[in-house]
Amino acid sequence: MPTLNRFTLPEEFYDWTSDMLLLQPEPQYLYASMYKQAMSAELNVPDVLGLAGRGVSGSAPGGYATPDDGRLQLAAAMGGEVIGFKMDFTGKPGSMVRVNRPKFTDTTYTKASRLVASNSTISTTPVNVGSEQVTLMLQRFAGPYDQVNARVAPYGLEAFDAEMGVHKMSKIVGLHMKRDYDKFVESVLVSLLDGADQIVRTAGMTSDNDPTADDTANFNYNTLNRAELALDNANIPTFSDGHRWMVITPKQAMNMKDDAQFARYAQFHPQFNALYPGYITTVNKIHLFKSNTLTVSANSSSVNIHRAHAFGPGVLAAAMGRRPRILSSTDDNYGETGKVIWSVDADWTLADNRFVVSVRTT
């Protein structure tokens, strides 16, 4: 004999959606935060999306999630010192800038080679000086991205349905817009820093394919020392506080804390932690931070190789034209279907790949 319940008498029951939101775990996008701070490059999303006078928003009260709500705050933005050259193309002609850097040529530096003896003739033939260049070319980037069709494509908002949603449609789309922009910038900067001039691996590891099992070449105090030595040998300067920075993955941080030598030499500065949430410690002349967006890729034995970055100031260069903005399509079905993308005119490059060391461990 059936009982009366929501399945036998569905007409008496209905479902509803709460206007409360659960958190979606997200990384912080450390390098993107640093870049946005240094270049004033935040993407601001308006409350109404679409063409003027025919935009779509929604009538639901209250706010919606912001990109920072669910992000793991491992470290704060590290300031503009990381970006050694900043170019604002606004109001300037052209779309490309070349930045010169002196290139020194080593010769012979002995007393005998430089001695000008009496009655000797000094050459009148000049020698050259060298120079290097870094190029930034302003380009247009946009999102979001249609993964199925491999192209930039818009978010679409239906004006009719937007009036009946639990949350404002513009807030929902705005959240996804900002997250897409932040992750794009973060991915670009991480990829650039992976192109370091030098690679330091755990002692005994000569290539990424050497480890054949997990935890056989973990990050430790010795690895940090050799990364610092590589920066010293390359004559890389320090930041204004006399230190360099290293950004490591959470697993590398865990392995570091398990190393007895780390505990012996680490210095924790509470006042520094107040400025940089998630700051781990200072070892020697290296400030250590964590990031969950660094490259972790499997080698030929399916062992994950973690790529950390150790660097000095001025490692990156960035250019900006038109600021990050929201663009609306004119194909909006008489204002009933708003279509929007984000766009920015920018470029990023390594100012000098000698200024960063790629630290690779299991």
Range with top average pLDDT, 141-155, 164-178, 323-337? 141-155
pLDDT at 161 over 90: no
| 25 Cβ contact list (under 8 Å, min separation 6) | 70, 72
Read off the pLDDT band of 71 (50, 70, 90).
Answer: low
Tokens representing residue 245 in the block: 């920075």
Backbone phi, then psi, for 46, in 5-degree steps? -70, 165
Q: For the segment 306-327, what is each residue's pLDDT rounded down to a tens digit? A: 999 999 999 999 999 999 999 9
Backbone phi, then psi, for 333, in 5-degree steps? 50, 55
pLDDT at 362 over 90: yes
Compare 338 and 219 and report the one with higher pLDDT.
Answer: 219
Read off the pLDDT band of 8 (50, 70, 90).
Answer: low
DSSP letter string, 25-47 = -B---HHHHHHHHHHT------S
Give me the pLDDT at residue 60, please: 64
Query: Per the omega criterion (within 30 degrees of 0), is the bond before 144 cis?
Result: yes
**CB 8 within 8 Å of CB 269:** no
Percent of the chain with pLDDT over 70: 83
Q: For the segment 192-233, what is each residue's pLDDT rounded down to a tens digit? A: 999 999 999 999 999 999 999 999 999 999 999 999 999 999
pLDDT at 74 over 60: no
Give me the pLDDT at residue 62, please: 59
**Bridge partners for 290 per DSSP:** 248
pLDDT at 7 over 80: no
Compare 273 and 225 and report the one with higher pLDDT.
Answer: 225
**Sole residue written with tokens 């691996």:** 201
Give me the pLDDT at residue 259, please: 84
Spatial distance between the Cα atoms of 35 and 318, rounded to a whole number of angstroms: 8
Give me the pLDDT at residue 341, please: 93
Give me the pLDDT at residue 46, please: 80
Give me the pLDDT at residue 80, please: 72
Read off the pLDDT band of 249 (50, 70, 90).
Answer: very high
DSSP assigned state of 68 = T
pLDDT at 13 over 90: no
Percent of the chain with pLDDT over 90: 42
Spatial distance between the Cα atoms of 117 and 27, rounded to a whole number of angstroms: 67
Read off the pLDDT band of 187 (50, 70, 90).
Answer: very high
DSSP assigned state of 176 = H
Give me the pLDDT at residue 269, please: 60
Residue range 106-122: mean pLDDT, rounded: 89
Spatial distance between the Cα atoms of 360 and 358, rounded to a whole number of angstroms: 6
Spatial distance between the Cα atoms of 318 and 260, rounded to a whole number of angstroms: 40
Residue range 82-95: mean pLDDT, rounded: 84
Spatial distance between the Cα atoms of 355 and 192, rounded to a whole number of angstroms: 12
Domains of the chain: 198-313+357-361 (3.30.2320)
Mean pLDDT (the chain) is 85
Give me the pLDDT at residue 63, please: 63
Encode burial over 194-229: b for 16+ CB neighbours within 10 A, e otherwise.
Answer: bebebebbbeebeebebbeeeeebbbbbebbbbbbe
Encode burial over 290-302: b for 16+ CB neighbours within 10 A, e otherwise.
Answer: bbbbbbeeebeee
Q: Which of 77-81, 109-113, 333-337 has the lowest mean pLDDT?
A: 77-81
Read off the pLDDT band of 129 (50, 70, 90).
Answer: confident
| 218 Cβ contact list (under 8 Å, min separation 6) | 202, 252, 255, 258, 361, 362
Distances (CA, A) of 277 to 72, 73, 78, 270, 326: 10, 7, 11, 10, 31
pLDDT at 20 over 80: no
Using only C-alpha atoms, the chain has a radius of gyration, in whole angstroms, of 27
